[in-house]
Homo-oligomer: A and B are copies of this chain.
Amino acid sequence: MTVHPAHTRILKTDGTDDLAVPFTRVALTNGETFDRYCTEGPGSDPEVGLAPLRAGWIEGRGDVTPYDGRETQLLDNGRSAVRRGAARGEWRGERRRPLRGRNVTQMAYARAGIVTEEMRYVAVREGCDVELVRSEVAAGRAIIPANVNHPESEPMIIGRRFLVKVNANIGNSAVTSSIAEEVDKLTHAITWGADTVMDLSTGEDIHTTREWIIRNSPVPIGTVPIYQALEKVNGEADKLSWEVFRDTVIEQCEQGVDYMTIHAGVLLRYVPLTANRVTGIVSRGGSIMAGWCLAHHEENFLYTHFDELCEIFRQYDVSFSLGDGLRPGATADANDEAQLSELRTLAELTSRAWEHDVQVMVEGPGHVPLDLVEENVRLQQEWCHGAPFYTLGPLATDIAPGYDHITSAIGAATIAMHGTAMLCYVTPKEHLGLPNRDDVKTGVITYKLAAHAADIAKGHPGARDWDDALSKARFEFRWHDQFALSLDPVTAESFHDETLPAENAKTAHFCSMCGPKFCSMRISQDVRERFATDGMAQKSAEFIEMGASVYVEPSGV
């Protein structure tokens, strides 16, 4: 489903006939076209799910085998499923037997010099050389989250040399939402440009909700498995164990989760460092693990069992998203000892994961005053040897609940400009409630513009072409093209139409800001007709001649 009549789906290849990479083509009224990166996938009937685009590639490598997966249990869908004695809303589409291999990560292939179809696909999407993709993945500076059990996904890459990506969080809680609502949020988020989606459900039907989401998702799906594990032990953090956690991870690996947030850096000795903070520990996963550590007076089991986790992840190609459980939840707590201690541990874990060829990204804050933002990404890149940074905002101030998509977009654009590879969106509901469908859209659009602002600031090849195309349309009064090229054509057009709804106002050489009598743009066009030239030489000559014969010289400067 495209969002504007001038948008169509086109497919590009790398010259071979086994790849077809979708782009959104915007047809302009002047006969030109503009092609945009497209995340929305081919679209699906939610009950059926998407076709397994990558199935042939995965099978073709000959290194995975189907097996009888872990049996789904009632508790996978929560305690009320157990009480009822039955799950509800179960997935009715195709069920494939799970696949696994010995070491099937994109990093393992990249290090072995193998160029996968996933890498080629990514190179077409990014408009870059495939060797850049392979070498960045091999070096750990980029990841392609691509669980072999999520063949529906269209490969994408997360790394500082590539376009800045945006993640949208969805998921229910004990208080609110249903499976259908979550699938709708997924589709909505992707339609508006989310590059990955995290299912952070903590309420009922967790297993089933995730199945529906993965089967319908053309983008990688991330989760925080400790949330589901906590539900399995009645919400009591001290009842958690490595065994329950491991079982949950296997369950999710087999379903096809592409990356998992693992809070293995919340070490027991760091917990007291948060005691005098303004807002303590605000990461849900971080506080679960802190609670467990304190209750048991033992080291975090995610840390002590980290190598076992790596062994599991490499069999499915699940990527780590190393959670920042001690991220600051207030600007007062930014870049403090707790946060930076954990980051050093995440750096250690990054290296350990890489020893197993497991792909890694590292999560970052949070709430950070603007003057401290750059240090976050600088330290993360230095300590974690360039592993992709994935940050939540950060929020540049705490004072604007209801507008935290904006307070965080300010920090997000800044941190991405300095090298953050993926931004986790924040919606207007942050701190106040779970996002609904509209909040998801607002969050995604806000973060797409922040990510794009960073792409431009980084001088990413071709990034500014989009701005230039839109600005040219604006300058030439091509209102329809201005809307069609907008990140959100629907909103742009409806705002314009509030004051000038008539169709002829969309070809008129004015708008409601100045009215018909006078228009800056029109005068500029006169200037262009008189002075525009193709070559700098001619312009310069003309300028000198004019300066010499016509102009009053200023008295100074």
Contact = CB atoms under 8 A, between A and B. Distances in A.
A300 to B, nearest CB: 9
A194 B127 CA distance: 45
B528 A280 contact: yes
A65 interface: no
A551 B269 contact: yes
Interface in A515-557: 515-518, 520-521, 523-528, 530-533, 539, 542-543, 546-547, 550-552, 554-557
A332 B432 contact: no
Interface stretch (A147-155, A315-323, A449-457): A449-457
B530 A202 contact: no
Interface string A282-318: 1110111011001001110001100000000000000
Nearest to A328: B471
Which size class do A's interface residues fall under? 35 or more
Contacts of A445: 400, 403
Contacts of A271: 527, 531
A432 B288 contact: no
A214 interface: no
B496 A276 contact: no
Given A267-B554, A272-B531, A434-B512, A281 B520 contact: yes
A517 B492 CA distance: 42
A303 to B, nearest CB: 7
A474 interface: yes
A407 B275 contact: no
Given A280-B475, A464-B332, A524-B281, A457 B345 contact: no
A396 B457 contact: yes
A356 interface: no
A475 B433 CA distance: 15
Contacts of A526: 291, 294
A40 B420 CA distance: 40
Interface in A442-500: 445-446, 448-450, 452-454, 456-459, 464, 466-468, 470-472, 474-475, 482-483, 485-488, 491-492, 495-496, 498-500
A28 to B, nearest CB: 14
A93 to B, nearest CB: 29
A419 interface: no
A187 interface: no
A433 B174 contact: no
Given A287-B521, A402-B495, A432-B492, 17 more contacts: A267-B551, A273-B543, A278-B468, A279-B475, A279-B521, A280-B524, A281-B527, A287-B524, A294-B527, A299-B551, A303-B552, A345-B557, A369-B456, A397-B449, A401-B483, A431-B511, A436-B498
Interface of A: 173-176, 202-203, 230, 235, 237, 267-269, 271-284, 286-288, 290-291, 294, 297-299, 303-304, 329-332, 344-345, 347-348, 351, 367, 369-371, 396-403, 405-407, 409-410, 413-414, 417, 428-429, 431-434, 436, 445-446, 448-450, 452-454, 456-459, 464, 466-468, 470-472, 474-475, 482-483, 485-488, 491-492, 495-496, 498-500, 511-518, 520-521, 523-528, 530-533, 539, 542-543, 546-547, 550-552, 554-557
